[in-house]
Structure 1
Amino acid sequence: MVDLSTLTPAERAQQLGHPDGEIGLAITERLNTVNRRVNEAVFFTDLTSSQGTTFLKSGLAMAAWCRF
């Protein structure tokens, strides 16, 4: 397991720009965890939709279709 707290600011910036290897996987997993909280708050709480509505969620690390 990678301890992200040991990365220097330069190492963290490089991995955020171009995730690579084991550290890159840990960085993207952490981003997905943090971003999920924000996305759930916006998409599932503040956004109203009807059955069959499709939203495109896109970001720097990933994009996914959300169907309601």
Structure 2
Amino acid sequence: MHHRVSYLILHKFQRSQAKLAQVVAELQEQEGGGRRLAREKAQRESLELGEARAKQEGAPPAWSLDGRRMRPRS
């Protein structure tokens, strides 16, 4: 009986470890997605700020709407 209880405890512990690893992986994935979105937002805001400054200076836009470079920056 003692071995059976030990095996059940070990099995439960292993299942708990596997579940914990799954939850940690999901959290890391969500965190990575959040960082990616924040980075993309910062890049977009930086481009928009640069375009606003260029517009104030009378320069044509440096980027097309699809993100391709139209002319080199001076």
Name the structure with the higher strand share: 1
* Greater relative contact order, per chain length (Cα 8 Å cut-off, separation 6+): 1
Give the TM-score normalised by structure 1.
0.34
Computing the radius of gyration from Cα coordinates, the structure with the larger value is: 2
- Which structure dedicates a bigger proportion of its chain to helix? 2
